[in-house]
């Protein structure tokens, strides 16, 4: 906090008492809003024993396997999991007992704290001495950044997103620094931050990759071809070291990106629709403002505004496949709030209307989320009932596998420490190599609101009807266990 305050005083030129007070209040407001976001996220996360969302069980499962074996259970970019595992390891070295429940607690805390830390690079960006935005606008932008639709939406089962998004802001800050002062250290900072993002989350990396390539072409035109190609290949190679399938997807996604256009799959969920409309409003409005104030703006602002407009137009495009549209929608708030900041720099008269709009959107987001908040994909009773399946695999876990619907398979592996496979993929693996094959079916309905359904997956087979949930039981399986929460079927030999 002291560093920020001293920096702004130096930037202002005259360290007057009133100026110091304004700077102090701005820093204090940023810290306060950030703490409010962290507290709200902690409250929501710890209001349930399990982790929120469909993929909630994925994260502790990966972290526990790192602690036990040094490796991930499933191929993925590794940084977030090793970061959480390192915290657990340090706590255990310090003498704290770290049972499985403690691993979940550490993950919840990291998830709750990580995303609001974007306030640090965002603070730097909106308080640049060249053209800082007004205090009210800065507070509104930060509130939207940490308390609007996306920050709550990704809480729980999109933890890698939450971890990588502050890194994306740092990356954009470094790129802006490079445009202002193109020295070697700023160029190195851009490359290193992009590499760290590549190891943190595939989707955020793809967004940052698009950002840097678009910006390179806007700034350097034809000269951008070679560096863009180098950056693209470098990113793919880095991801391929840890997850070949994700790297291959970055090359071949054009084959499926328009497969099931979101616009023609029925009505969009309201948060997605609102985000889409707001993005295109900002893009069109940004073009109009850019044309009007271009002559009064510096080159860096011009480059950044054009880059952000292109990104909004590209990533909010509603004819992408439903999965891709919803993936991209999660990241739209980044170019949204940065474009707003630059438009205010161009025209200070926009500060008040944008501030009011962002405060209203943020308030609406909070009320909407808490009216039907996100939940774990299974309730506590179902999780405890999983222990009753243990006796069927206890004697031969290495040669046993349990088939379950998406979400349930992670908590099954977590509770029973056994091999699992998602029911949609059961035909793609060789079940015959396992001596015990159990098909698990969840009976109680998973009631998720608009914030609880993870947008990154196709609808589950059989999910449209009433429970039991998941795909139908294959014919060669017999019932071995039944309760109010689960049915278990074992494959007949």
Question: Rounded to whole angstroms, how far apart are CA atoms 367 and 281?
Answer: 23
Torsion 232-235-241-246 (CA) sign = negative
With both helix axes pointing from N to C terminus, report the angle between 333-346 and 135-147 in degrees, rounded to the nearest 10: 170
* Statement to judge: residues 311 and 214 lie in one domain: yes
pLDDT digits (tens, 9 = 90+) for 21-53: 777 888 899 999 999 999 999 999 999 999 999
Q: Which pLDDT score is estimated for 130?
A: 66
Q: Does residue 48 belong to any structural domain of this protein?
A: yes
8-state DSSP, 14: S
Q: Among residues 341, 371, 401, which one ends one of the domains? A: 371
* Statement to judge: residues 308 and 353 lie in one domain: yes
Q: Among residues 371, 391, 418, which one ends one of the domains? A: 371
Q: Does residue 418 belong to any structural domain of this protein?
A: yes
* Statement to judge: residues 362 and 387 lie in one domain: no
Q: Does residue 461 belong to any structural domain of this protein?
A: yes
Q: Does residue 64 belong to any structural domain of this protein?
A: no
Strand 436-442 versus strand 486-491 pairing type: antiparallel
pTM: 0.89
Q: Does residue 128 belong to any structural domain of this protein?
A: yes
Q: Among residues 371, 388, 409, which one ends one of the domains? A: 371
- The three-state secondary structure class of 259 is coil
* Statement to judge: residues 349 and 427 lie in one domain: no
* Statement to judge: residues 365 and 226 lie in one domain: yes
> For the chain, how many structural domains are there in total?
2
Please state whether the peptide bond connecting residue 468 to the residue before it is cis, i.e. omega within 30 degrees of 0: yes
Q: Does residue 451 belong to any structural domain of this protein?
A: yes
* Statement to judge: residues 390 and 254 lie in one domain: no
Question: Rounded to whole angstroms, how far apart are CA atoms 6 and 396?
Answer: 63
Confidence of residue 457 (pLDDT cuts 50, 70, 90): very low
* Statement to judge: residues 262 and 190 lie in one domain: yes
* Statement to judge: residues 351 and 425 lie in one domain: no
Domain that holds residue 253: 2-53+111-371
Confidence of residue 8 (pLDDT cuts 50, 70, 90): very low
Confidence of residue 9 (pLDDT cuts 50, 70, 90): very low
Q: Which pLDDT score is estimated for 95?
A: 83
pLDDT digits (tens, 9 = 90+) for 277-331: 999 999 999 999 999 988 888 899 999 999 999 999 999 988 888 888 888 999 9
Q: Please say whether the beta carbons of 64 and 100 come within 8 A.
A: yes
Judging by beta carbons within 10 Å of its beta carbon (0-12, 13-18, 19+), is residue 68 exposed, middle or buried?
A: exposed
* Statement to judge: residues 197 and 217 lie in one domain: yes
Q: Does residue 102 belong to any structural domain of this protein?
A: no
């Amino acid at each position: 906090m002291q560093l920020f305050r001293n920096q702004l005083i130096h930037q202002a030129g005259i360290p007057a008492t009133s100026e110091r007070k304004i700077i102090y209040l701005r820093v204090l407001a940023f810290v306060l809003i950030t703490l409010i976001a962290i507290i709200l996220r902690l409250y929501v996360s710890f209001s349930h024993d399990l982790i929120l969302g469909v993929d909630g069980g994925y994260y502790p499962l990966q972290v526990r396997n790192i602690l036990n074996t040094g490796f991930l259970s499933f191929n993925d970019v590794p940084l977030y999991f090793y970061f959480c595992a390192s915290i657990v390891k340090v706590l255990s070295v310090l003498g704290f007992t770290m049972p499985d429940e403690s691993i979940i607690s550490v993950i919840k805390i990291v998830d709750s704290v990580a995303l609001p830390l974007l306030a640090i690079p965002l603070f730097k960006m909106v308080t640049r001495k060249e053209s800082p935005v007004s205090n009210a606008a800065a507070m509104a932008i930060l509130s939207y950044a940490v308390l609007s639709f996306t920050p709550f939406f990704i809480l729980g089962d999109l933890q890698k997103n939450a971890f990588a998004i502050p890194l994306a802001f740092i990356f954009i800050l470094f790129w802006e620094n490079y445009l202002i002062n193109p020295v070697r250290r700023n160029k190195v900072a851009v490359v290193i931050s992009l590499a760290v993002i590549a190891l943190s989350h595939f989707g955020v990396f793809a967004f940052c990759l698009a950002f840097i390539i678009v910006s390179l072409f806007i700034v350097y035109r034809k000269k951008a071809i070679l560096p863009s190609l180098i950056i693209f290949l470098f990113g793919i190679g880095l991801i391929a070291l840890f997850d070949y399938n994700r790297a291959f997807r970055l090359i071949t996604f054009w084959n499926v990106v328009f497969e099931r256009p979101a616009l023609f799959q029925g009505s969009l969920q309201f948060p997605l629709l609102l985000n889409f409309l707001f993005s295109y409003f900002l893009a069109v409005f940004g073009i109009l403002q850019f044309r009007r104030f271009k002559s009064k703006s510096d080159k860096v602002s011009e480059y950044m505004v054009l880059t952000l407009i292109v990104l909004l137009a590209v990533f909010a495009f509603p004819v992408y496949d439903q999965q891709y549209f919803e993936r991209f929608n999660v990241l739209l708030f980044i170019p949204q709030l940065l474009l707003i900041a630059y438009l205010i720099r161009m025209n200070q008269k926009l500060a008040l209307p944008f501030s009011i709009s962002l405060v209203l959107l943020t308030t609406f987001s909070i009320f909407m989320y808490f009216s039907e908040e996100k939940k774990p994909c299974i309730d506590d009773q179902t999780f405890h009932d999983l222990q009753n399946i243990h006796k069927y695999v206890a004697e031969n876990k290495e040669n046993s596998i349990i088939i379950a619907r998406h979400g349930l398979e992670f908590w099954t592996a977590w509770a029973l420490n056994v091999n699992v496979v998602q029911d949609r993929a059961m035909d793609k693996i060789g079940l015959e190599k396992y001596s015990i094959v159990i098909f698990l079916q969840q009976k109680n309905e998973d009631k998720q609101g608009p914030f609880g359904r993870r947008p990154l997956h196709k609808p589950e087979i059989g999910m449209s009807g009433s429970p039991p949930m998941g795909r139908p039981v294959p014919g060669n399986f017999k019932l071995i266990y039944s309760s109010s929460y689960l049915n278990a079927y074992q494959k007949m030999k």
